[in-house]
Structure 1
Amino acid sequence: MASDTSLPDWPPAELLGDLRNRSVTRDARDFALSTGLVYRAVPQRQGDIPPQDTTIHAPITLLPSPFPRQLFEKAENLQPLYNKLYAQLSLDEKFIKSIMEDTVVHVDEFQARLYAIWQTVLKEGVSQSTQSGIFRSDYMMHSPQQDGIQLKQVEFNVISSSFGPLCTKTSAMHHYLLRKGAYDALHPSLIKENMPENHALETYAAGLADAHNHYVEECRDAHAQRSVKPVVLFVVQETERNSFDQRAIEMLLIEKYAIPVIRLTFEELGKTASLHGRARILMIQSPATHAPVEVSTVYFRTGYSPEDYTESAWDTRLTLERSHAIKCPSIALQLVGSKKAQQVLAEPGVLEKYLGNDADQVRHSFMQLWPMDPNTKLGKQAHRLVREHPENYVLKPQREGGGHNIYKKDILPALDAMEKRDKQREAQGGNHVKECEAYILMSLIEQPEHRGSLFVRANKNSDNAELVKDSVNELGIYGAVLYSPESILKNRSGGYLLRTKSKDSDEGGVAVGFSVIDTPLLV
């Protein structure tokens, strides 16, 4: 077990001087802008489409951050097990019903809409039983006072697991600065051997290529009679600023695998997507040629938040789910990516059903998790604990994308407001499921203290990287899996995302402005 003393003081003082800081920062910015480590600029008004001809560099760190080598390797070793686990969960109809029907769908309209689509497709009959997942399992260092540093999972992402390409480019940037001499004489650990290469972009592309190739092989006889090659469909947001992260995957699919990609929004798909034949083949219209094109794989980079849907978008999501195309993810996989599933997996005996003797390896990465159902033993315990010491916990809803959690001192006022709304709803004859049951309770992770970083962010009106004296890291490991009810067809893992933020910030998303993209320096 690593100890606190294994993490050096950071960042090195020699890099804080104005001249050296400014010089290295200039090199980092130019590398980012030269290699596509970029975002679209912020639109003038919220909700507007970002300007298509203007970019800024993504938020990054000036140098890697120390991270215990054995914890990094442990996270890498866990990923194939997590891939297998979530594949199995998505195929378990009984599990999905158990986590949704009793509580969540009654108090979370978004999850209820997803669940309704899943039920509709089950009732009709699934056309495509093969599923694809591109995952990211996120961890933090947990440093209780007497137990050294442990690896603990924050969450498991099953839809739109972003930043694989941009963090691959950030790793390349740090390696470039190392070769250029920017880190000379800063710290003995700053050497190539301690800076792991990042293969996240390749994991993404290979995972989607696996799905596409399986579909083509499955439909080989039919495709022999068609002149137009099937495509991978990226379902995207119209207001997406992080489109270059997605474009890198598209380019690799085209260049390495000769697989064409079409990007469309829900709104655009609502006008052109259609299902054909008994197998419900998904056809769309090519934006370039306006010709009909068959879709092999639907890759969602939107659809994880209620804000992503209009009523017509919900209809389109149902059309996509009913189709014969392989979904990444399917509705079933998105449902088991909920925080409720994460909490249930932490209950005694659940993991063992899916992982057998490997269950303990995964269980050791869990923090303490509780349901918020006040009618259960665990739920009553959760309410008592959080009422006594709210500073030790976080309330998590069934959401991905950052910015939704309720932390520490904000929990009790939030629970009191929920109880008030419960009484009003019940007085009007509404259901008796408590609003708080849409959440789970999780013990807060105690990060090692007094570790700084140097942030390089656009539009800060400074030529120097910004010193953040007390920062924390979140490590994400990527995986890709292709599976059917009969077997795991492909199980891949590789690549990482390290996000670093100020310790004063509870949330961790890069896209929503809380974190910057970093890389680990293994110590």
Structure 2
Amino acid sequence: MASAMSLPPWPPAEILEPTRNKFVTVDARDYALRHGLVYRALPAEEGGMPPQDTTIHAPLTLLPTPFPRDLFEKAMDFAPLYNTLYARVATDKDFLSSVLQNSVVHVDDFQRRLYEIWTVAEEEGTTQSTQLALCRSDYLVHMAPQSTGKLRQVEFNTISASFGALCTLASQMHHFLFRKGAYDAMDPLISKANMPKNEALSVLVSGLADAHNCYVKQQREEHRMIKPAILFVVQPEERNTFDQRALEMELLEEHAIPVLRASLDELGTIASLHGVDRILAMQSPISFTPIEISVVYFRAGYSPTDYKSDDAWATRLLLERSHAIKCPSIAMQLAGAKKVQQVLAEPGVLEHYLGKEGDLLRSTFAKLWPMDDSPLGKEGMALLRESPQGFVLKPQREGGSNNIYKDDIIPALDAMEARDKERNAKQGGSGIKEREGYILMSLIRTPENRGSLFMRAGKQTPGSEHATETVSELGVFGTMLYKPGPSKKAPLDMLSSRTGGYLLRTKASESNEGGVAAGFSVIDSPLLF
């Protein structure tokens, strides 16, 4: 087993030589621009729309980053088991209700609105039991005292698990630079055998195609208005458009499946349900004819800012009630809540869903505590007040830049308590405290003395930025097409499960957050050792 502490100095000194660094950076930049490894440029003014006719290359590393081979392979091996776990959780109505209805939905308005949509849809009854999820399980290397590195899960993303296309291209860029000789006469660790192929794009596209083909087989041809299409629900101000467009183009070119794109606000006027099965149709922006939707793929809807009005929430309910296969369903989105992650870590819960195999996933869990008055919650609070430097406080949010770290936690909790008192004095209360919308997680101690070279757009002088202390986070992609099973003994019918492909994100160590889109990390690829 390789130790994360046994690495040579990184990056190699040769790549820091100014002339070499300049020429390799130019090659990498031009590869990224040529192959669509790009973002839309930043808006001209804060709050404005990104210019639609201008792109910049995505933030990248100039060379791959060493990552322990045994931990990389373990993360890949665990992916099918994580697929099974979350599919079972998403189809377990009693479990989801018990976890959420007495905690976060009382203090987190966003989670409450999602929960209400789920409840309404369940009470009405579904016409489409099949569900799709494109997920990503994110890990850090944890350096426990007196041991080699351990794999620790940060979170399991069940909605808008992005960068599958761009991270595939980033890996291809590093392979291109290797073949061109950019890394010649450097550390022998840089070899083709140590640079794993990234299949994230094809895995995610195949998962979407699985769902579309399943839908087509379900429907009788005589009821079809036009050849069905997949709907991408997107943010109107999206800068990461080309990660999505790559999926769209691959679906059309490799699977002959068309894709339509629309925001929640746009769908409020062009989407409608038809017939007793509630077939979802939307008006074609080209032919102005109705197009039947087979799969609704959410690349928006994970943040409160995506719902700018009650009309947007009404549209989300319409989509959930429809006969289209949802990716994800509201149930799967709720299953990805941090509160669910925390409860899964409690004794016996994983084993309920996975039996003895639950121990394998438990080995990847960081320590997690609820922020309530249970014995476990009181334990977490006591540990936090004794040494806040070892913890992060997480809300029920996706997309980065939402967590509270270390010494900022206690003041944040004190402010929550003050708001609780003010609210209860004015209107009474449910007894649920605001802090119960969060979970507490022990910080993962990542390897030290790991450097990298960052390429960010907008630098006037060619060359990369030398970051001397960095942290790398590995995400492993998976897709699952599933529906509830026929009985309690067979609670899940997994129609297809795919895993493969990865996202490596690297950031400066002083940055607590990790999102690429949020501006903290750069896209990387692993160099296995």
Q: Which TM class, normalised by the smaller chain length?
A: over 0.9
- Give the TM-score, by structure 2 length: 0.97
Cα distance, 1:426 vs structure 2: 1.2
Counterpart Cα distance in 2 of 1:347 and 1:292: 48
Q: Which amino acid aligns with 1:495?
A: G
After superposition, what is the alpha-carbon deviation per residue over 1:192-219, rounded to whole angstroms, capped at 9, x for unaligned? Answer: 0100000000011001000000000011
Q: Which residue of 1 aligns with 2:455?
A: 456
**Alpha-carbon distance change, 187 to 377 in structure 1, aligned in 2, over 3 angstroms:** same
Contact 2:215–2:294 (CA<8 Å) still a contact in 1? Answer: yes
Contact 1:393–1:408 (CA<8 Å) still a contact in 2? Answer: yes
Contact 1:216–1:296 (CA<8 Å) still a contact in 2? Answer: yes
SS for the counterpart of 2:184 is: coil
Q: Which amino acid aligns with 2:472?
A: N
Counterpart Cα distance in 2 of 1:171 and 1:189: 16
Counterparts of 1:41-440 in structure 2, within 5 Å, are: 41-219=41-219, 221=220, 223-224=221-222, 226=224, 228-309=226-307, 310-373=309-372, 375-428=373-426, 429-440=428-439
Q: Which residue of 2 aligns with 1:500?
A: 506
Aligned residues with identical type, % of pairs: 61
Q: Which amino acid aligns with 1:458?
A: A
Q: Which residue of 1 aligns with 2:483?
A: 484
After superposition, what is the alpha-carbon deviation per residue over 1:30-63, rounded to whole angstroms, capped at 9, x for unaligned? Answer: 0000000000000112332211110000000000
Q: Which amino acid aligns with 1:229?
A: K
Cα distance, 1:417 vs structure 2: 0.4
SS for the counterpart of 2:5 is: helix
SS for the counterpart of 2:159 is: coil
After superposition, what is the alpha-carbon deviation per residue over 1:301-335, rounded to whole angstroms, capped at 9, x for unaligned? Answer: 00000000021110000000000000000000000
- Give the TM-score, by structure 1 length: 0.98
1:515 has 2:521 as partner: yes
After superposition, what is the alpha-carbon deviation per residue over 1:328-372, rounded to whole angstroms, capped at 9, x for unaligned? Answer: 000000001000000000000000111112111100000000000
Counterpart Cα distance in 2 of 1:227 and 1:368: 52
Q: Which amino acid aligns with 1:384?
A: A
Counterpart Cα distance in 2 of 1:517 and 1:350: 34
Contact 1:205–1:249 (CA<8 Å) still a contact in 2? Answer: yes
Counterpart Cα distance in 1 of 2:74 and 2:120: 40
Q: Which amino acid aligns with 2:38?
A: V
Runs of 4+ that moved beyond 4 A: none
Counterpart Cα distance in 2 of 1:215 and 1:514: 38
Counterpart Cα distance in 2 of 1:511 and 1:179: 29
Counterpart Cα distance in 2 of 1:144 and 1:422: 37
Residue range with higher mean Cα deviation, 232-241 or 454-463: 454-463
Counterpart Cα distance in 2 of 1:154 and 1:53: 36
Contact 2:194–2:528 (CA<8 Å) still a contact in 1? Answer: yes
Contact 2:268–2:315 (CA<8 Å) still a contact in 1? Answer: yes
Q: Which amino acid aligns with 2:96?
A: I
Runs of 5+ consecutive residues of structure 2 not aligned to the other structure: 486-492
Cα distance, 1:14 vs structure 2: 0.7
Counterpart Cα distance in 2 of 1:395 and 1:225: 50
**Structural RMSD (CA):** 0.9
Counterpart Cα distance in 2 of 1:448 and 1:308: 36
Counterpart Cα distance in 2 of 1:3 and 1:198: 24
SS for the counterpart of 1:78 is: helix
Runs of 5+ consecutive residues of structure 1 not aligned to the other structure: none
Cα distance, 1:425 vs structure 2: 1.0
Contact 2:393–2:438 (CA<8 Å) still a contact in 1? Answer: yes
After superposition, what is the alpha-carbon deviation per residue over 1:218-252, rounded to whole angstroms, capped at 9, x for unaligned? Answer: 11x2x245462000000000000000000000000
SS for the counterpart of 2:430 is: coil
Cα distance, 1:98 vs structure 2: 1.1
Contact 1:7–1:68 (CA<8 Å) still a contact in 2? Answer: no
Counterpart Cα distance in 1 of 2:337 and 2:434: 16
Q: Which residue of 1 aligns with 2:489?
A: none
Paired residues in the alignment total: 520
SS for the counterpart of 1:106 is: helix
Contact 1:6–1:68 (CA<8 Å) still a contact in 2? Answer: no
Contact 2:232–2:297 (CA<8 Å) still a contact in 1? Answer: yes
1:447 has 2:446 as partner: yes
Q: Which amino acid aligns with 2:177?
A: L
SS for the counterpart of 2:102 is: helix
SS for the counterpart of 1:102 is: coil
Counterpart Cα distance in 1 of 2:67 and 2:296: 35
Contact 2:225–2:292 (CA<8 Å) still a contact in 1? Answer: no
